Structures are given as structure tokens and as C-alpha cells.
Amino acid sequence: MRLVFAGTPVPAVPSLRLLAASAHDVAAVVTRPDAPLGRKRMLTPSPVAVAAEELGIPTIRAARLDAAASDRIAALQPDLGVIVAYGGLVREPLLSAPRYGWINLHFSLLPAWRGAAPVQHALIAGETTTGATVFRLVPELDAGDVFDQLTYPVPPGATAGDVLDALAHRGAYLVEGVVDAIEAGIAVAHPQSGAPTFAPKLSAEDGLLHWDEPADRILSRFRGTTPEPGAFTTVDGARVKILEAAPADDDIALAPGHIAAAGGAILVGTASLPVALGRVQPAGKGPMDAADWWRGLRSLDPVAGR
């Protein structure tokens, strides 16, 4: 079939590469425009744009699928649209432009966690199983009939970045299978079953760790906001990004937020067991071992969250 693929970040790349290597024809890739990144704010193409260039596929860069972008896509006369984390809504008449409409790979077990940050919200909620879903795109957010799903047990300690990477690669084969089934005329989609939950885009403040909560809830938030938007705390008013954290091996008595060195580890007290910090990044500095950061603290009694 003649396909149009829409996607932007790294998790969309495996699906694009697999479809490009298949018997189908990826006529064009739709992706977000180049964005300023890094300290120098240099305009940088999206990961999907980079992959499309490597594959020799024309790109349509569009911040939103307005009339101009829609006309360019419709002119390609695609049989099917495939979307993976594009970052924009597909509305009519573009929704009906491909002969078989659009399918979407979503990184949750729909109807759980409809929205922009499904993996992040699932981990913050402490869920130990997630998955991926390929569904028919409809005007309502992530509400279309389901073609196929896979489940994925979350490994202990896995961050949102780890889980997204795993689902991106596994989900690519799910997408390819549904595309093949649609071409063969054997694809069957079923309505979503159950009450939906929602996963709106996270803000930077969603990464703030609250040390007066139990350790398991703190670590769930840490894993769900790592690497983006980034877990953090404050120490004596200075922001400190938490890059690695895990349950402490030592069950020592430590008040919530209080930081101490014990057995070679840097521990922070919580409402239950302490949390061990592995690597941190103080504001204006590079990543470092928590022990090195601890030795450089000037306060005699540093408290996280203060």
C-alpha cells in the first residue's frame, strides 16, 4: 500500500524504519518543524526527519496539520496514514483522505492513559504492566477501535525512557502486522472496553519529588519523569536534578528530606524507607555522582525540598 507516516520523536523511528523496509511504499513522512535545542538553541531536525532523510523519503514539516499540510498529504493519494507520536491532531477532511483512514500506535493498553504521556503517567501511578495499542484514528482523543495490542511487564527500576524504548521497538512490529492485515482485507477492529484514564503532557513541575511521601511513590514519580521532564528536588533553595535513584539497602532512621551518607551511599529520608541517590545534576553543573555532590555541600544539615 501507499503510506503516509506521521511522527516526530525517537520512539516513532522504529516504526518508520520497519515500514520503509517492508513491501509497502512510504510516500512521505510528516513531522514537526526543526526546533531549537541545546544551550546554543540551534535549529535541529526531529529524529523522524533525520531517519526519513537517511531513508530517502520526502518530508512534510508541519507544526500542525492545517489546510496547506492537509492538501499536500491528500495530493499523495495515500491508501493509509500511520501516526506514531506526531504531536498534532488529525482532523477532517484529512482524517478521511487516505482510502483506509489512519491508524495510530499508542504506548498504553487503551483505554488506559489516553493522551500525550501514557508511559510517564502509568509509571507515576505505580503500574507494573503497560503495553502498546494500534487503533483506528477518530476525532475523539485516542478513542478509536482497537486493531491489536501487546502487553509489557515493566522491569523493576525501569524509567519512562527505558519503557518507551522497549515499546517503540515492539510496537513497530505491531504496526507492521496491522498494515499487512489491512492490505489483505483481514484486519478486524474492536471497540475499546472499560473506563478511560487520561495522560496529559507533563510540565517541568511534575518532576518535583515530595520527600514526605512513602519511598515507593517517590520512586514511581522519579521513574515516570525520567528522562523527561526530569525528576528534581531543591536543597537550600538550589534545584538539583535526580538522574539515578533506587531503594536504599540500609533501613536507617532518617527524617523526610534529610540527606545523609551511610555505607558509601547518599540517602534521603522519606515517609517510609530512605531513597538512595546515584547520580545528580546541580543547577548550572554537569552530572556527577551523588557522593561527590554531597562532599561539596556547604550546609552541615542539608535537607531536600527546602
| pLDDT tens string 129-159 | 999 999 999 999 999 999 999 999 999 999 9
In a shared domain, residues 111 and 251 = no
- What Å distances lie between residue 164 and 154, 175, 205, 225, CA to CA? 11, 15, 21, 12
In a shared domain, residues 6 and 136 = yes
By the 10 Å C-beta count (0-12 exposed, 13-18 middle, 19+ buried), 186 is classed as exposed
Of 150, 184, 218, the position where a domain reaches its end is 184
- Write out the E strands in the chain: 2-7, 25-31, 35-37, 42-44, 59-61, 80-84, 102-106, 129-136, 146-153, 231-235, 238-242, 245-247, 259-262, 265-268, 275-277, 279-282, 288-289
What integer is the mean pLDDT of 90-108? 96
Collapsing DSSP to helix, strand or coil, 31 comes out as strand
Q: Is 70 exceeded by the pLDDT of residue 42? A: yes
Residue 189 lies in a domain: no
Return the ∠ at Cα 26 (arms to 139 and 171), rounded to 5°: 65
45 prior amide bond cis, ω within 30: no
In a shared domain, residues 176 and 210 = no
**What's the confidence (pLDDT) of residue 35?**
84
Beta bridge partners of 37: 42
Of 155, 184, 213, the position where a domain reaches its end is 184
In a shared domain, residues 162 and 57 = yes
Q: Is 90 exceeded by the pLDDT of residue 19? A: yes
Parent domain of 215: 204-296
**Using 50, 70 and 90 to split pLDDT, how confident is the model at 296?**
confident
* Torsion 206-208-211-216 (CA) sign: positive
Residue 305 lies in a domain: no
What integer is the mean pLDDT of 290-306? 79
Which of 280, 274, 303 lies closest to 292 in space, CA to CA?
280
**What's the confidence (pLDDT) of residue 302?**
75
In a shared domain, residues 120 and 210 = no
**Using 50, 70 and 90 to split pLDDT, how confident is the model at 305?**
confident
**What's the confidence (pLDDT) of residue 253?**
84
**What's the confidence (pLDDT) of residue 300?**
60
Taking the C-alpha atoms of residue 204 and residue 114, their distance in angstroms, rounded to an integer, is 20
What integer is the mean pLDDT of 262-279? 93
**Using 50, 70 and 90 to split pLDDT, how confident is the model at 299?**
low
Collapsing DSSP to helix, strand or coil, 181 comes out as helix
Collapsing DSSP to helix, strand or coil, 72 comes out as helix
Q: Is 90 exceeded by the pLDDT of residue 247? A: yes
pTM of the model: 0.94
Which CATH number belongs to the domain containing residue 70 in this structure? 3.40.50.170
Of 127, 150, 184, the position where a domain reaches its end is 184
Number of neighbouring beta carbons within 10 Å of residue 107: 28
In a shared domain, residues 216 and 177 = no
In a shared domain, residues 218 and 272 = yes
Q: Is 70 exceeded by the pLDDT of residue 298? A: no
Q: Is 80 exceeded by the pLDDT of residue 306? A: no
Based on the structure, what is the number of domains in the chain? 2
